[in-house]
């Protein structure tokens, strides 16, 4: 595939891309305080595909939103490379979100009046070192759908446009919150295949949230959360391609 800017995969034992140190997050709801995260300490290396697994309400989205600069910590520290994001101001967080992070959510959030290509171009127009929008769509297997509108695409295709949009700016970190949550099983596998490919071919570090234990099989590493805490954190020795998942 011509035109991709490939990032080489880092050597084993690579530097930490992201360090989370004793992070807690509480929400005050009137009289009630919800402790969504309790003293979470984790670090992620460049190039890994980690799955955050846990039941609904276990704090996964809160953690991902904090990592993505969408929410702030109540307590603790968060470093991206050597930048202390827990102390960053709004302008720095905006630049961090814009240049370093790609987001993929359960619902695809495409703009209905724009074609697939135009949806991706919205991001490449403001990015620093984007790949061409058409290359990003080719990467996700949608080179034949460039001029389709979202309503003319299946759910899985729409999610692949959303992935193309997230990776076209060549973010260092791709954050996916339940990316297959709105899709059926077969379609979900195709979407996971594309996420796996982004990690394998572009070397993008990926954090993927799911509540589905069988999806965790595609990760290099699985972090299990429970009640706002890290419950388990292990290397996945029997990593499987998405096509072999059963759920």
Ligand X SMILES: Nc1ncnc2c1ncn2[C@@H]1O[C@H](COP(=O)(O)OP(=O)(O)O)[C@@H](O)[C@H]1O
Interface with ligand X (CB under 6 A), residue from 21, 38, 57, 79? 57
CA R_g for the chain: 18
Task: Look at residues 245, 236, 237 and name the one whose alpha carbon lies nearest to residue 50.
Answer: 236
The answer to the question of residue 62 lying near Mg ion (CB under 5 A) is no
- Using CB under 6 A, which of the segments 59-67, 94-102, 137-145, 180-188 binds ligand X? 59-67
In this structure, the chain runs to a length of 247
Binding mask 95-124 for ligand X (x = CB under 6 A): ------------------------------
The answer to the question of residue 36 lying near ligand X (CB under 6 A) is yes
- Using CB under 6 A, which of the segments 5-13, 28-36, 179-187, 190-198 binds ligand X? 28-36
Interface with ligand X (CB under 6 A), residue from 44, 51, 53, 60? 60
The answer to the question of residue 138 lying near Mg ion (CB under 5 A) is no
Interface with Mg ion (CB under 5 A), residue from 23, 42, 48, 61? 61
- Using CB under 5 A, which of the segments 35-43, 55-63, 115-123, 221-229 binds Mg ion? 55-63
Q: In the chain, at which residue ranges do the beta strands (DSSP E only) sit?
A: 16-29, 32-45, 49-53, 75-80, 83-84, 101-104, 173-177, 205-210, 221-226, 229-235
Task: Look at residues 189, 237, 235 and name the one whose alpha carbon lies nearest to residue 214.
Answer: 189
- Using CB under 6 A, which of the segments 6-14, 50-58, 114-122, 139-147 binds ligand X? 50-58
How far apart are the C-alpha atoms of 209 and 216, rounded to whole Å?
A: 9
Q: 221-226 and 229-235: which strand pairing?
A: antiparallel
Q: Please check whether residue 210 is in contact with residue 53, taking contact to mean a CB–CB distance below 8 angstroms.
A: yes
The answer to the question of residue 27 lying near ligand X (CB under 6 A) is yes
How far apart are the C-alpha atoms of 105 and 163, rounded to whole Å?
A: 9
Q: Please check whether residue 58 is in contact with residue 225, taking contact to mean a CB–CB distance below 8 angstroms.
A: yes
36 binds, among Mg ion, ligand X, none (CB under 5 to 8 A by kind): ligand X
Query: Chain centroid to CA 70: how far?
Result: 13
Distances (CA, A) of 51 to 74, 132, 213, 221: 24, 28, 10, 6
Give the total of residues touching Mg ion (CB under 5 A).
Answer: 1
Interface with ligand X (CB under 6 A), residue from 59, 217, 219, 242? 59
Contacts to Mg ion by CB under 5 A: 61
> Which residues here bind ligand X, judged by CB under 6 A?
27, 29, 34, 36, 54, 56-62
């Amino acid at each position: 595939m011509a035109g991709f800017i490939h990032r080489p995969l880092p050597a084993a034992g690579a530097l930490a891309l992201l360090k989370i140190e004793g992070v807690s997050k509480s929400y005050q709801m009137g009289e009630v305080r919800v402790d969504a995260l309790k003293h979470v300490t984790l670090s992620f290396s460049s190039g890994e595909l980690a799955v955050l697994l846990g039941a609904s309400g276990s704090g996964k989205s809160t953690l991902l939103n904090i990592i993505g600069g969408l929410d702030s910590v109540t307590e603790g520290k968060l470093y991206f490379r050597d930048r202390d994001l827990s102390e960053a101001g709004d302008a720095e967080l905006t630049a961090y979100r814009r240049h370093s992070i790609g987001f993929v959510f359960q619902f695809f959030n495409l703009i209905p009046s724009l074609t697939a290509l135009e949806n991706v171009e919205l991001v490449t127009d403001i990015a620093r070192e984007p790949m061409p929008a058409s290359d990003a769509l080719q990467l996700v297997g949608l080179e034949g759908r460039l001029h389709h509108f979202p309503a003319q695409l299946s759910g899985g295709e729409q999610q692949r446009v959303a992935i193309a949009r997230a990776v076209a700016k060549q973010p260092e970190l791709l954050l996916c919150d339940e990316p297959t949550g709105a899709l059926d099983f077969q379609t979900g596998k195709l979407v996971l295949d594309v996420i796996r490919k982004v990690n394998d071919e572009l070397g993008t570090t990926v954090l993927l949230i799911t509540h589905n234990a069988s999806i965790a099989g595609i990760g290099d590493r699985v972090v299990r959360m429970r009640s706002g805490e890290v419950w388990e954190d292990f290397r996945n020795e029997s990593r499987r391609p998405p096509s072999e998942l059963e759920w």
